[in-house]
Amino acid sequence: MITRSTDVNSVRKLLQKMSPPFALVPTMGALHEGHLELIRKARQKVGSSGTVIVSIFVNPIQFDKASDLENYPQPLSTDLALCERAGADLAFTPPKESLYHADHSVLIRESLLTKHLCGATRPGHFDGVLTVVLKLFNIFQPNYAIFGQKDFQQLALIQRMARDLNLSTTVIGHPTVRAPDGLALSSRNTHLTASERADAPRIHRALCAARDISHTGEQNPSIYLEVARKHLLMNPLESFTIDYLELVDAETLQPTPSVTKPSFLATACFYGKVRLIDHIVIPS
């Protein structure tokens, strides 16, 4: 049976009774099959005798819109049942007050990888992400931390933070989990209308269409972007808009002048107020 804790001091005492190695899966709840794959990956890393920890915390300081925070789904009892079914040993579900003092004033900020993509369109978002992840790393001192590659910019930032701050946790990315029609799994998908959900696979199809031209040896980034944009805007629903569409170097996350090494073609799109992200690797 899964153990649950809501308090930092209490969870540290619990950890003293649990067996290393430790693997952490940080989440904001509203779990889906993608999250469960991360938990299963964590179990693989620590084996049957290690400890898998799942944090469920809707982090208020990473939301750039108050309405997004207010509307974020929090089906805690369902999430706990899913964690247990996937093989987690410990669930950490703290209230805001357990992680943030009322007058908290220290944030973690990254200055290079956040200049484009979601970092450019959601100011302050990644400051909140890095701050809460570092808190969780400090609390649990995990040997491993597992994150989904769907949020590839987030993963890159956390790996950079671990490198630059000499953290002992190994940060591991897990491939994007998709529905049969190609849509990347996300808790935000539940907010789509039926017609929007049926239309949303256009995002992955557009990225795949652009990737396919790499077989011709094309190196001009504008060609990839043009193909992807054409497919994204091919008879879309009225509620559909593009937030950004960028082709960036897979290592630096800066716009690439020429596709001569692996790159990420990434987009964020809206259906009304529902924001979906996805990306695909463009091989060199």
Active site residues: 35
Closest CA to 153 of 250, 69, 238: 250
Structure tokens at 83: 């964690």
Q: Are 58 and 103 in contact (CB under 8 A)?
A: no
Q: Is 155 helix (H, G, I), strand (E, B) or coil?
A: helix
Task: Determine the length of the chain.
Answer: 284
| Cβ–Cβ < 8 Å for 268, 151 | no
Q: What is the distance between the alpha carbons of residues 132 and 254, in angstroms, rounded to a whole number? A: 25
Residue where the block lists tokens 């800066």: 254
256: Cα separation from own chain's centroid: 23
- Cβ within 8 Å of residue 46, ≥6 positions away: 20, 21, 22, 23, 52, 143, 144
